[in-house]
Amino acid sequence: MRSDSYQAVKRFAAMCVEILNGYRPPSQLRPLAHPQKFGDVSDQVLRRTVRIRMNPSHAARKGALVRVRRVLVTEPLAGVAEGVVVLEHGTSSWAMAVRFEKANRPNFGVFGWVCTLVQVL
């Protein structure tokens, strides 16, 4: 069974894909991000969104939706998870490095994990 941190990163990646494909607004990342880091987190996702923005129905017809190819997560320290999400869009692919931290509030984020850093590579 996968850890809670893996599930949190996977859920975050799925939401990012929905944002990149135009199905969700970036503000919906707010509950998954640390309140003080939301601006930086959403900015990294928006930078990629601007580059590939396409009407979702057009993207679906063209088969050009962004998809998650792979999710890798490690926990180097207790309460810290670092992950890599490999995404693909048509023939191109790129990665997102993410860092999650365990919050002391169980109903916060996904299973208490909140995103504190995203770097789109």
Q: What is the pLDDT of residues 26-42, one digit of tens each?
A: 889 999 998 899 999 98
CATH number corresponding to 4-120: 3.10.450.50
CA distance linking residue 69 with residue 118, whole number of Å? 17
CA count, 13 A, side-chain hemisphere, 36: 1
pTM for the full model?
0.85
Q: Which two tokens stand for residue 72?
A: 């890798």
Domain boundaries in the chain? 4-120
Q: What is the pLDDT of residues 27-86, one digit of tens each?
A: 899 999 988 999 999 888 877 655 555 555 555 556 678 899 999 999 999 999 999 999
